[in-house]
Structure 1
Amino acid sequence: MRTQESKDTAQVVVVGGGNAGFTAAHAAAVRGREVILLEKAEKDMAGGNSFYTAGATRIVHGGLKDLQGLIEPDERHLRTVVPAYSAEEYAADLEKVTQGRNDPELTEVLIAESQSTLRWLNSLGLKYRLMYERQAYERPDGSYLFWGGLHVGNVGGGEGLIEDHVRVAGELGIDVRYGHSAKRLLVQEGRVSGIIVDTPEGEKTILAESVVLTAGGFEANPEWRQKHLGEGWENAKVRGTPYNTGDMIAAALEIGATPGGDWSTCHSVQWDAFTDQNESNRELTNRLTRQSYPLGIIVNTEGRRFLDEGADFRNYTYAKYGKEILKQPGSIAYQIFDSALRLLLRTEEYDMPGISVEIADTLEELAVKIGVDPENLEKTVTDFNTSIDRSNPFDPTIKDGRVANTEPVKSNWSAPIETGPFYAYGVTCGITFTFGGVKTDTYGRVLNAEGGHIQGLFAAGEMLGGLFSDNYPGGTGLAAGCVFGRRAGSLA
């Protein structure tokens, strides 16, 4: 926290108090740099998008034994299988979901340093665990099998992540200033030499040898969403912080930074459509997502399916299906399950009081409750049920190939929806973060139009463009924030 004795000069100024910003600040501080971290929000709204996450972080590892010393002990480990996740698998997943548009140099660094960076943060005091409730299913014999390449997360989720970061920052002597909204970059003799900031005491200039920008994308700016993502995106719900409005992207571009990454796509998910306060909700945070959709079917307000719910593990489809909801009539859809499937849904997302759900003993009654034509819904479910190839057993822990040969096809995890009561969860599009930002090298040094470094300026986190396009493997954002935040802080 800022004290009365705090100065308006530092060797390193970090703009943005999320995971990437704190990681950059830690990396600079352990080198003996004097660091000021500026957070736009007041303390009760701080933490950036990181606060709203589940803390899931995708890293390379060799299985459960290789993770010992990083993850917290748990008696379930003795009954747990954690498949190894190789560098080759990580690279293939990124290339697959981005359709090959991920920057190869950034990708190589992210993968190579993913585990070592988490171990470094762990050595400073951040705590990690296996994510049983999100990434594993309990098998009939009481054992657990993890799936999807995403296995490790922060103790306490996003809230725990930020709490740990703040504590470590205090231990390292980092000057964290809340309610400080950075506006413009100061340039002197061709070098970034500070930043102009709105503070509770008025506008101030903070001088620095280096400025690290980690202030997120532009997902909380409806005008920019409409301009860069397209018509309709102004209506998306903002899942995370309301403060990521692109101010620092604009400030960097103003002094000659080159845009980086895909400005036309973003991370968006299926999000509770009707719960009160379903934007930037600090209490419910990530629990307003609805991510058990691969087990059931999704219909629009006309009662028709429109995507392959079982195309892949949730980790590889969830960040692109939000935009598919946005395209539907009214930007609303319903996840449909029967009573047998209902038992498999994520407790943290589907069992909270007050969430959007309709329940009925028959499909006809359910259709009436959600305002969908009953004949259309009955036909959709009947066509789906009768098209299931039942030669493969239903198994949510693997890509089971249990296909429903209807239109559109469902490639895996097709189970008949036939036993009441039936459940419908209303979902819309929730935007998480945008993929476009500024172009950097692999150390986060911001580049100009000629490909040279803008001296004294670094970027990391969601401001760093180039890693993602169209889609995103779950847990890669926090991993990238850690890796490139550390790299930027190690040079700043």
Structure 2
Amino acid sequence: MTTIPSQVDILVVGSGNAGFAAALSAKQSGAENVLLIDKCPKEWAGGNTYFTAGAYRTAHGGLDDLLPLVNNVSAEQAKKIDLAPYTEKDFKDDLQRVCMGRTDKALGHALVADSNAAIRWLSKNGIRFQLSFNRQAYEVDGRLKFWGGLSLKTQDGGKGLIEDYRSIAKRNGIQVAWSTGLQDMEPQSEQKGWLARVSAGGVDQTIKAKAVILAAGGFEANPRMRSQFLGSGWDLAMVRGTPYNTGDILEMAINRLGAQPVGNWSGCHSVAWDANADPNVGDRLASNEYTKSGYPLGLMLNVEGRRFVDEGIDLRNYTYAKFGRAIMQQPEQLAFQVWDARTSSMLRSEEYREERVEHITADTLEELAAKCATKGLKDQGAFVRTIQEYNEAVYAHRQENPSATWDPAIRDGVSTQSSAKQLALAKSNWALPLDKGPFLAVKVTCGITFTFGGLKIDPETAGLVHRMTGRPIPNMYCVGEMVGGLFYSNYPGGSGLTSGAVFGRRAGKAAATALKSTSMNKARL
């Protein structure tokens, strides 16, 4: 067992992206003794970060701006890549658009303005970035076209990201303690820091910390809190990631520290998830591969055989985090994703290969419906009629728009809506007919990733704000998924990890700077 020091400069609570970023920033900003703790055992290191695809959304100037950061692009390959600049305005507009204009303006500005610098800082310190060919590019006319404003991921996704962070922490002399859960905190005399009570391997201990950075995640693994804040039925959602994000530190911060709860407490990031996955915990081996995000290439139908979302309403990056909720609202919280031979080969193998997900295949729609009925489909006739009516609408649009070109890398306008026929629920883009066998279906449910409700922070320092004074609590900071006010109802894909890095970096620097200032004042006295 790791020996827990009785006194540290800075205590970081949580071993995900935000926690490690904060610890690294604090160390590099002059803090001598930085301790990162997590209540999970060592084999569960990384929090929810481990289960991500490792995607970071950042403003950038195009391909030439990103190439120095990545390790998977040859000079020859670079000549075939189309990757347009993604400006700060683009990022800001996407954030406001998908979050209904509710994002706290100061938080959003900090996230966007610091996104590129934060990525470069991580890269400089040893995080291995790559262009996300498998998730964010389609080959069109011999060109690799990136889409959706999201181009960077980490090598080996979340697994590789946490591996890199742990190596970085070791190189920088950051001490890490597993199976060490924060139980309570109270200020030391004259606000000189905090006394943290922890349970380390089942043994109660105390740690004197001059500053504390909270990075312990949301409450997505707590069925009681999900039902309480997200609504009825959410206790049945499948947990996509770590089972240790149970919201206890959120509740402690509110009830014991006086933190100000803000943001979308009834909202969360939730995705289409393999219905055969473990409902209570993410799989450390499969990780993000249980996500099923190929719906823009096909259709989603509920167990009554009816569509319930516009699968082509927007690029996947702007819909996948909210479509899990849409599935939760369906009968039995289940759906079937369906493709025909035109697009099934374009599905990402890491999500849809037979070793990862159960394939339901058939040569005809009627046969596919019969097979889906053995997996929970209630109305085979409605299933077939829904797809046939969809096909009729697709062909009517094509007849009226013969020059329309299907392009999965843009919002191509190839839809189901024409003057001759319109569906009550459109497919607004990428509407190809589903009538070419063999057909493929997979069964999905809702997988919850993280919750949006959190705590108010100072955007510049990530200082935790007290609900009564409206001012930052001295020597107390909050980062990562514990922060509220950024995301509402939805989020732009990849912006969660970027938020953790941006505000983790700011918190670490602010905490270390505050300690220096305190030491200098004492020296003058």
TM-score by length of 2: 0.91
| d(CA) in 1 for partners of 2:338, 2:233 | 25
Match for 1:456 among 475, 481, 487? 475
**SS of match in other structure, 1:343:** helix
Amino acid at match of 2:258: G
Return 5+ residue gaps in structure 1 as ranges. Answer: none
| d(CA) in 1 for partners of 2:185, 2:427 | 50
**SS of match in other structure, 1:376:** helix
CA contact (8 A) 1:137 1:144 kept: yes
1:78 Cα offset (Å): 2.4
Specify the alignment match of 1:271 in structure 2: 273
| d(CA) in 1 for partners of 2:10, 2:225 | 29
CA contact (8 A) 2:324 2:448 kept: yes
- Flag as ranges the 4+ runs of structure 1 deviating above 6 A: none
| d(CA) in 1 for partners of 2:38, 2:169 | 13
**SS of match in other structure, 2:160:** helix
Match for 1:17 among 15, 18, 24? 15
**SS of match in other structure, 1:455:** strand
1:376 matched to 2:377? The reply is no
| d(CA) in 2 for partners of 1:42, 1:78 | 46
| d(CA) in 2 for partners of 1:300, 1:88 | 37
Amino acid at match of 1:446: L
Match for 2:320 among 292, 314, 318? 318
Cα offsets for 1:130-180 (capped at 9, x unmatched):
000000011242x20100000011111101100000000000100100111
Specify the alignment match of 1:356 in structure 2: 358
1:197 Cα offset (Å): 0.8
Specify the alignment match of 1:478 in structure 2: 497
TM-score by length of 1: 0.97
Amino acid at match of 2:465: L
Match for 2:339 among 316, 337, 340? 337
Specify the alignment match of 1:62 in structure 2: 61
Relative to 1, partners in 2 of residues 1:433 and 1:190: Cα closer, same or farther, differing over 3 Å?
farther
Specify the alignment match of 2:310 in structure 1: 308
Relative to 1, partners in 2 of residues 1:278 and 1:364: Cα closer, same or farther, differing over 3 Å?
farther
Cα offsets for 1:86-143 (capped at 9, x unmatched):
11110110101110110100110111110111111111111111000000011242x2
Cα offsets for 1:227-253 (capped at 9, x unmatched):
000000000001011000011111111
1:344 Cα offset (Å): 1.2
Larger Cα-atom Rg: 2
Specify the alignment match of 1:224 in structure 2: 225
CA contact (8 A) 1:273 1:356 kept: no
Moved more, 480-489 or 68-77: 68-77
Trace 1:118-129 onto structure 2 (pairs within 5 A).
118-129=119-130
1:407 Cα offset (Å): 2.1
| d(CA) in 2 for partners of 1:18, 1:196 | 21
Number of aligned residue pairs: give it. Answer: 489
1:261 matched to 2:263? The reply is yes
| d(CA) in 1 for partners of 2:171, 2:135 | 32
| d(CA) in 2 for partners of 1:470, 1:368 | 36
CA contact (8 A) 2:136 2:146 kept: yes
Amino acid at match of 2:16: G
Match for 1:416 among 411, 420, 433? 433
**SS of match in other structure, 2:118:** helix
Percent identity over paired residues: 45
1:201 Cα offset (Å): 5.2
| d(CA) in 2 for partners of 1:190, 1:265 | 38
CA contact (8 A) 2:289 2:356 kept: no
CA contact (8 A) 1:275 1:354 kept: no
Amino acid at match of 2:219: F
Relative to 1, partners in 2 of residues 1:438 and 1:318: Cα closer, same or farther, differing over 3 Å?
same
**SS of match in other structure, 2:431:** coil
CA contact (8 A) 2:324 2:445 kept: yes
Relative to 1, partners in 2 of residues 1:352 and 1:128: Cα closer, same or farther, differing over 3 Å?
farther
| d(CA) in 2 for partners of 1:383, 1:407 | 11
1:446 matched to 2:475? The reply is no
Amino acid at match of 2:342: A
CA contact (8 A) 1:55 1:478 kept: yes
Trace 1:272-311 onto structure 2 (pairs within 5 A).
272-275=274-277, 279-311=281-313
Amino acid at match of 2:216: A
Specify the alignment match of 1:145 in structure 2: 145
CA contact (8 A) 2:19 2:479 kept: yes
**SS of match in other structure, 1:68:** helix
1:73 Cα offset (Å): 4.4
Specify the alignment match of 2:518 in structure 1: none
Specify the alignment match of 2:157 in structure 1: 157
1:278 Cα offset (Å): 7.7
**SS of match in other structure, 1:102:** coil
